[in-house]
Structure 1
Amino acid sequence: MQLYASLFLLGLFNNVRGVTVTQAVPPGPTQHITLDIVNGPVSPDGFTRIGVLANGTFPGPPLVATKGQTLVVQVNNKLTNDTMRLSTSIDFDGVFQTSDNIFNEGSPFVTQCPFGPGESYTYTIPLDPAQAGSFWYHSQLSVQYADGLRGTLIIYDPDDPLQDLYDVDDASTVLTVADWWHNTSTSGLASYLQTQIIPVADDGLFNARGRYNGGPEVEYAAVPVTSGKRYRFRLINISARSDFVVSIDNHTMTVIEADGVEVHPHTVNVLDIFAGQRYSFIVHANQPVANYWINAQINGGNPAHNLNLNVRPRINRAPRAEPTTPMTEGPTGADALPLNEWELVPIVPMPAPEPDFNLTFNTFMPVGITEWEINNISYISPSVPTLVRVLNGEIQPDDFNVTENTFLFPANKTVQVTIIDAANEGHPFHLHGMNFWVVKSNGSDIINTVNPIRRDVDVTGTGTNILRFRTDKPGPWFFHCHIFYHFAVGLGSVIGAGFDEVGKIVHPTEAWERLCPNYDALPASEQ
């Protein structure tokens, strides 16, 4: 299926260069945010269903901050619909975490217990003073965020070294692509466990709008721009499964950020963005004033499993003057200038340190069993979070069940992970709390240790990926596939960094310590 949205080049004003426009961020060192997690109706493509929503919207309210601020996010669980998960926990994807605050990291059964209906938890997150860029938040419990609990988080840098390259960077330039299901995530997961077939999304959404075959002609999202202006678009894939191939008719995209890492300007005309990934790119509205398609082609699964994805949406009427040009798949063949990850160069150079340890991940799905494995082990969450057990003194390899897939390393070392994806599934592997160096990208034979791209989501394929990261943040850190249906059936692991140091550094709050007893006391129907 191809999903398309409209990019309007309005040409309403003269071509005047001005001060960079950025989203207004509340002043002060601390931002207080309240997220009420509720069940409510949602219909981004005209099909109404009940979702799991932050403050009643999909996506959830956009969060904005300035680097170095502290986010205090109070999450109130007001869920009532027992056809979906009633407990929850929130992860702030890509945001650097420190060891002393790892208990606010948000990973169920790794760094915390979830919390049930009627309960609240407040995440206090001091933002790294050196980190800015495009991020997002979502439920980390099972596949709950497929029901709608996901939203954007932008950390602005008042001293952005690349700000002279663009004129506008505000709420209107934050773009999302997302897959969407008309059924609940719990029913989808049950179907997956029974059939080994991941539920195919009923629709793909661009800025929370889309159409599905046989459905109403929902108005596509439009992105107004002014002729002559240069726009920093922040594209975030908030999907639970799918990747999107994105292009803009008659325009190029100059990539300047990948997963919060600023890179030297790199111009392409088509890019593939996978679940959990983020890119900033500059678009110059320098073409004749007209309406142009943004092409966002959704990939993920066999369309034969769902006829809604087997037919390209038809356009009849144009309530907002949709482009009269035909929809396409964007540049192909010799006309395509694709984004190749290994060509991205961080503007702040950081060589990849030599590894002290080498680890190989072989990903595999056994025939006839709905589970994914890393090195013949399918990850199963423990009943007691890893962090709780480490604080209780369980720090030896024999203390962890083999199904926890926990790898222990000393503090302040470098680990190299080689990922082999023999099935060519395209797993977007995500590391919590920190970035890794991508020494070798899938699709390239180049080994780059001088200044490789650093990011927190990297995609596998027919070749190998080589990643390196430091264990200078003691604690348990989730490392898993961001296709959450894969993650839910085992494609995950825990990196144990310097466990013998954790007790000296981590001092959780009483509120955190109450999470597990409260969760354990819940009936199974509310967990």
Structure 2
Amino acid sequence: MVWARVGVLATLLATACAAIQEYTFTVSEATITPDDYARPGALIVNGQYPGPKIEVNTGDIVRVTVNNNLTTQCPIPAGGSYTYEFSTEGQSGTYWWHSHYMSQYVDGILGPLIIHNATAESQVLPYDEELVISLSDWYHTPAPSLVTHYLSRSSKGEEPTPDNALINGKMNNGCKLYVPPGTSCNPNATLSEFTFVPGKKYRLRLINTSAFANFHFSIDNHTLTVIEADGTDIKPLTVDRIPINVAQRYSVVVKANQKPQGYYMRAQIDIPCAAGGDVGKPAVSLATALVNYQGGANTFNGSVNKKDHLIDCQDLDYKVLRPYYAQNPPSHPSQLVTLNFGFQLDPNTAIKYAYINNQTYMANFTNPTLLNIWSNQLQLSGDQYIININNAQWVDLLLTNNDASEHPFSFPRPHILRFGNPLRRDTSTIPPTGWTYLRFLTDNPGVWALHCHIQGQMEAGLSVQIVENPAAIRRLPIPADNLALCSYPYKQVTKRHHP
């Protein structure tokens, strides 16, 4: 299922006067060479990886028609199409769209989603141009094989280790790494390149689209001024490097004020967070790109890596990331939800699964929770881990990590509030044996996934569904195209009477 992160929550907010921005995505399988190695089984959109950029203004309606040329199963059947439509009213910032069916985004079904708000952006910190920078780990083995291995006894619960790291889908050194037998590798890959005009200020929209890797991002000899985190405008904060975990986004402003020559852009995998992989630390842990000054010397001599200290496996301190536009949460929430998570061996299979409050999530593609609730079906699956919250109210959520590794948890709901500042973001890193505390308003009826965005761990069950206002869900006008998307049983659902 190709899913824009803000798309589902905004579907019912369309306004008649908004501009409609239309896109057509064709998904297909191909062999691509982002890092020298000719990687078969990659999934590309419109013939490219990363996929096309969606770029709109706040308030626009986005209409994306997806044509599925894969030989896969539902939600979008092989050879079929489906059109997503959603409003961006009340939202702006840096996002990304990606498939959330199994592990497809790891193989390439992803791309940036940029929502501009010219009025708000101009107030925070002016800049001259902007660039989208995607950071990603990369695997020479197709994701389905990686997931099969991970969810087996032989993995002992250790995630597959990335073979490489990419900036905007490019890196080299692939031939020096693991190359599966019977495949080819030619050492001719290039690095991503960016041109800076001396004196200009550049907004870099950073997006971590990895399956596993947490990065430290920097540009040699330059500082980064943070102005956005996960769609929230931030009071300018200048740093040398910035940590960015899976699914997180930051905008930083960089001034081209150094000696005109070449400098290295770096995305360094946070090794202590990745060292638990099944073959130890990644063979290549650094992705680089080239920043060339227009008219500058053709040299990288004097390009010096930053040496400041960042705390491993943690986000930037939320107490120093202060929203530019303040929103104060109520002092007394209506409900507290406490979730404790970790990993355990299944006594029957000896496979390590993730558990939240002693329940592990298993995706059910034949009976989606949203349609079960909408159609008043009574047999909600016990392995879906569903938390029902009735009516609109402020809810506190305490997530406690009983694992020795960090976990970037995503919750695609607007205005999630972290305390102490409060910082509003949708993806928060929970440190090893640590915790995080969130507050959010349940004012958007639907089924929302709160999950770890490390892909293998989500496949292992590290997810929970939060259902907002089930009674309102039953009144939603779900489109017929959605009900008819596949030939699964819910296509013939008969909506039961509900008092």
Same fold (TM over 0.5): yes
Report the residue type matching 2:172 in the other structure: R
The one-letter code matched in structure 1 to 2:323 is P
Counterparts of residues 5-44 of structure 1 (less than 5 Å)? 29-44=19-34
2:67 paired residue number: 76
Tell me which residue corresponds to 1:385: 368
Structure 2 gap segments, 5+ residues each: 1-16, 178-186, 492-499
Whether the aligned pair in 1 keeps the contact of 2:450 and 2:465 (CA below 8 Å) is: yes
Query: CA RMSD, aligned part only?
Result: 2.8
Q: Secondary structure at the match of 1:197?
A: coil
Pick the aligned partner of 2:163 from 202, 209, 230: 202
1:509-520 correspondence runs (5 A)? 509-517=479-487
Residue 335 of structure 2 is matched in structure 1 by 357
Match of 2:76 in 1: 115
Identity %: 30
Instruction: Give the TM-score, by structure 1 length.
Output: 0.79
The one-letter code matched in structure 2 to 1:140 is H
In the alignment, does 2:215 pair up with 1:244? yes
**How many residues were matched structurally?**
445
Shift of residue 39, structure 1, vs aligned partner? 0.7
1:256-275, Cα deviation, whole Å (9 max, x unpaired):
10011101111111111011
Q: 1:47 aligns with which of 12, 37, 49?
A: 37
Cα distance in 2 between the residues matched to 1:254 and 1:318: 17
Structure 2 CA distance for partners of 1:465 and 1:36, relative to 1, 3 Å: same
Residue 282 in structure 1 maps to residue 241 in structure 2: no
Give the whole-Å Cα distance in 2 for the aligned partners of 1:431 and 1:322: 44
Could you tell me how far apart the structure 2 residues matched to 1:380 and 1:161 are? 41
Q: Which residue in the other structure is 1:23 paired with?
A: none
Alpha-carbon shift at residue 40 of structure 1 (Å): 1.4
- Partners of 2:48 and 2:279 lie apart in 1 by 27
Alpha-carbon distance change, 520 to 472 in structure 1, aligned in 2, over 3 angstroms: closer
Pairing 1:65–2:56 present: yes
Summarize the alignment of residues 473-492 of structure 1 with structure 2, pairs less than 5 Å apart.
473-492=444-463
Q: Per-residue CA shift, 1:394-452, capped at 9, x if unaligned?
A: 47xxx53331110011111111111111224211111124341112xxxxxxxx2xx41
Task: Write out per-residue CA displacement over residues 345-402 of structure 1, whole angstroms, 9 at most, x where no aligned residue.
Answer: 112211122221111111111144321111111101233111111111247xxx5333
AA aligned opposite 2:167: F
Preserved contact between residue 125 and residue 227 of structure 2 (Cα < 8 Å):
no
Deviation (angstroms), 1:306: 4.7
Match for 1:302 among 261, 269, 275?
A: 275
**1:176 lines up with 2:134 in the alignment:** yes
Aligned match for 2:385, one of 385, 391, 405: 405
Identify the residue that residue 325 of structure 2 maps to in structure 1: 348
The Cα shift of 1:335 comes to 13
SS at structure 1 position matched to 2:35: coil
User: 1:118 is paired with a residue of what secondary structure?
Assistant: coil
Contact 1:259 1:278 in 2 (8 A): yes
**Residues 51-85 of structure 1: per-residue CA shift (max 9 Å, x gap):** 111112100111111111101100000014xxxxx
Letter in 1 for 2:140: H
The aligned residue for residue 186 of structure 1 is: 144
The C-alpha deviation readout for 1:282-316, integer Å capped at 9, x for no partner, is 1111112121222210135338855893367899x
Give the whole-Å Cα distance in 1 for the aligned partners of 2:377 and 2:291. Answer: 62
Alpha carbons of 1:411 and 1:47: their partners in 2 closer, same or farther (altered >3 Å)?
A: same
1:371 paired residue among 347, 353, 356: 353
SS at match of 2:458: helix
Report the 3-state secondary structure (helix = DSSP H, G, I; strand = E; otherwise coil) of the residue aligned with 2:112: strand
Does 2:126 align with 1:126?
no
Distance change (3 Å), C-alpha of 1:454 and 1:318: closer
